[in-house]
Amino acid sequence: MSDSPSTATKQLTHKEIMAVLSGLMVGMLLAALDQTIVSTALKRIVEDFNGLSHYTWVVTAYLLTSTASTPLYGKISDLYGRRPVFQFAIITFLIGSFAAGAAQNMTQLIAFRAVQGLGAGGLMALTFVIIGDIVSPRERGRYQGYFGGVWGLSSVAGPLLGGFFSDHNKIFGITGWRWIFYINLPFGIAALVITTASLHIPKVVKKHKIDYLGAFLLVTGVAALLLFVSVYGPQDGWTDSRTMTALVIAIILIVLFLAQESRAAEPILPLKLFKNHTFSLTSILGFIIGAGMFGAIIMLPLYLQVVKGDSATTAGLKLIPFMLGIVSMSITSGKLISKHGHYKRYPIAGLAIMTAGILALSTLNETTPFWQIAIFAIAIGAGLGLSMQTIVIALQNSVDFKDMGVATSANTFFRSIGSTIGVAIFGSIYANRLAHYIPIAVKKVAMTHPDQLDPNLKSKLAELQNNTAVLKTLKPELHAGLLHAFVQSFHIVFLFAAPITALGFVFALFLRETPLRTGAAHHAAKEEAAGEALA
């Protein structure tokens, strides 16, 4: 197949779609994996580079560039074609990965993680855009389970691989943690080869004018917002002058962006899309699902490591039930959507089940058996599997074909913003409650078992905030008291997360169900959009 407009009449067969999907899934796996793989290796990286004061930036730099660039990729791919922009994202990600693996200090590592994130933003956004191009909404359900599997696999494999690589001093003569980045290279090259061979979406030549000012305002506004929620707020306090300055700058830049988009000839994010009921509602649902998924679930491995004493690798393995929930329900709901053509019921059921699962996590204690934890994790995963991909199908079915790229990438953008804010807010709640419950626990032990208090308790408690291994050095009664303080803190986080996903359930009730476009209708819409562009 060529990229000429004359090929626009050709529809892909199932075999051709699966070939395209294989390249998309590899690219998406790379981006999703790098959201989680670094966290378990941070301790080792920091020790090598003596960079404790900057360690949060290794994660934050990636989140900043990947989130801020997401909506830009959709618009740029609308103008220049999907394949070249998707492959640009892969190459950018690979350059960032190789450079991060070769970094010699924290400054270099942070800079190259930002380059990685720039590529990841395109991988995450364009995967859903491209599948929206080649498969009709009615038929898309049968393929959505594959993407659910990628999300589930990355949530388990990330911490596992990060722990494995960081636990080894050398692998093939190279420092173990560097393989966290080098492992991306063969997969990225494979994604490039597959997409070159199979991804031939007809490219329509049209006049265009890029809104550079809008792009600049969006990227800087989002960066300022993420600095507020994920760096300065948790680090310096939410009322600190630097934190508030970041918030004010973010608000000003976002207001200027909205003003620019209202008058731009070809806006980066057309504001008219928000007049579309389904677009607005799925944007809200994407934000909520992102916040609930990352904000609450990131706490489960932490609970397993701190309270249950599991290693990072073991905690990762114990997330397999969560993955099973996502994959099984993604496949099941997808097949049912393709069979019956109804989709509204799935995000409603999914957010209800997800809320119940998160509420159930608030009952965890020091003696909760793993089989109970597994049931709660399956429930949350099932809720995500029912809702996350389904809202993308609803969105793509509701917008004009010419807006497919920008609308889909906008949904990915709102989910990324939600996940970043969720992690920051729930992390702050956890730290705040821990600071509240630890002194209470110490006071109780002092009153009932004063002989259990450690002579160096003050310094150990200060170290405990950053290194939970200190718990093992404490005497039994004090250890038990502090462990309960951690459990209480986890309870509060989960109790705060549940109302957020419950709010998502309420919004899902208002989702409008319109007949899903079939292959013929989808193809006709694609032809019409191509004709308009050529005209």
Do 180 and 119 fall within a single domain? yes
Boundary of a domain, candidates 265, 283, 308: 265
CA distance 28 to 126: 9
Do 89 and 232 fall within a single domain? no
Do 130 and 57 fall within a single domain? yes
Do 196 and 109 fall within a single domain? yes
pLDDT of res. 285: 93
pLDDT of res. 202: 60
Q: Which two tokens stand for residue 78?
A: 């609308």
Centroid of chain to Cα 263: 32
CATH of the domain at 516: 1.20.1250.20
Question: Residue 63 falls within a domain, yes or no?
Answer: yes
Judge whether residue 228 has pLDDT over 80: yes
CA distance 456 to 272: 62
Do 222 and 282 fall within a single domain? no
pLDDT of res. 33: 79
Q: What is the pLDDT of residues 393-434, one digit of tens each?
A: 888 888 887 777 788 888 888 888 888 788 778 878 888 888
Question: Residue 22 falls within a domain, yes or no?
Answer: yes
Question: Residue 326 falls within a domain, yes or no?
Answer: yes
pLDDT of res. 7: 40
Judge whether residue 531 has pLDDT over 50: no
Q: Greater confidence, 307 or 535?
A: 307
CA distance 462 to 394: 49
Please answer whether residues 93 and 66 qualify as being in contact, where contact means their C-beta atoms are separated by less than 8 angstroms: no
**Confidence at 255, pLDDT banded by 50, 70, 90:** very high
Contacts by residues 98-106 (CB-CB < 8 Å, ≥ 24 positions apart): 98/181, 98/182, 98/185, 100/181, 101/178, 101/179, 101/180, 101/181, 101/182, 102/178, 105/49, 105/51, 106/46, 106/49, 106/51, 106/54, 106/55, 106/57, 106/58
Do 370 and 423 fall within a single domain? yes
Question: Residue 454 falls within a domain, yes or no?
Answer: no
Please answer whether residues 508 and 285 qualify as being in contact, where contact means their C-beta atoms are separated by less than 8 angstroms: yes
User: With left for phi above 0 and alpha for psi between -120 and 50, is residue 309 left, alpha or beta?
Assistant: left
CB neighbour list of residue 323: distance below 8 Å, 6 or more residues apart: 152, 153, 155, 156, 381
Mean per-residue pLDDT over the chain, rounded: 80
Judge whether residue 349 has pLDDT over 90: yes
Do 383 and 422 fall within a single domain? yes
Question: Residue 151 falls within a domain, yes or no?
Answer: yes
Judge whether residue 528 has pLDDT over 60: no
pLDDT of res. 203: 57
What values do phi and psi take at 237, rounded to 5? 105, 150
Q: What is the pLDDT of residues 367-396, one digit of tens each?
A: 899 999 999 999 998 998 898 888 888 888
Please answer whether residues 149 and 326 qualify as being in contact, where contact means their C-beta atoms are separated by less than 8 angstroms: yes
Judge whether residue 103 has pLDDT over 50: yes
Number of domains in the chain: 2
Q: Greater confidence, 466 or 222?
A: 222
Boundary of a domain, candidates 241, 265, 289: 265
What values do phi and psi take at 366, rounded to 5? -65, -20
Judge whether residue 78 has pLDDT over 90: no
Boundary of a domain, candidates 265, 280, 311: 265
pLDDT of res. 81: 78
**Confidence at 284, pLDDT banded by 50, 70, 90:** very high
Q: Greater confidence, 250 or 38?
A: 250
pLDDT of res. 28: 81
Hunting for tokens 């706490």 — which residue is that? 299
Q: For 455-476, what is the HEC assignment?
A: CCHHHHHHHHCCCHHHHHHCCH
Judge whether residue 523 has pLDDT over 70: no
Question: Residue 397 falls within a domain, yes or no?
Answer: yes
Do 137 and 223 fall within a single domain? no
End-to-end Cα separation, the chain, in angstroms: 24
Q: What is the pLDDT of residues 466-520, one digit of tens each?
A: 666 677 777 778 778 888 888 998 899 899 889 999 999 999 999 888 887 665 4
pLDDT of res. 296: 61
- Average pLDDT (84-92) is 90
CA distance 391 to 529: 23
Identify the DSSP state of 8. Answer: G
DSSP 294-356: HHHHTHHHHHHHHTS---HHHHHHTTHHHHHHHHHHHHHHHHHHHHH---THHHHHHHHHHHH
Do 237 and 386 fall within a single domain? no
Q: Which two tokens stand for residue 105?
A: 């200090």
Q: Which two tokens stand for residue 65?
A: 């560039």
Q: Residue 175's beta-bridge partner residues?
A: 170
Question: Residue 321 falls within a domain, yes or no?
Answer: yes
Do 130 and 255 fall within a single domain? no
Do 150 and 225 fall within a single domain? no
What values do phi and psi take at 174, rounded to 5? -115, 140
Judge whether residue 151 has pLDDT over 80: no
Parent domain of 242: 211-265
Question: Residue 389 falls within a domain, yes or no?
Answer: yes
pTM of the entire structure?
0.80
- Average pLDDT (440-465) is 74
**Confidence at 206, pLDDT banded by 50, 70, 90:** low
Q: Greater confidence, 386 or 67?
A: 386
- Average pLDDT (283-289) is 90
Mean pLDDT comparison of 3-12, 103-112, 135-144, highest-scoring range: 103-112
Please answer whether residues 339 and 138 qualify as being in contact, where contact means their C-beta atoms are separated by less than 8 angstroms: no
Do 128 and 243 fall within a single domain? no
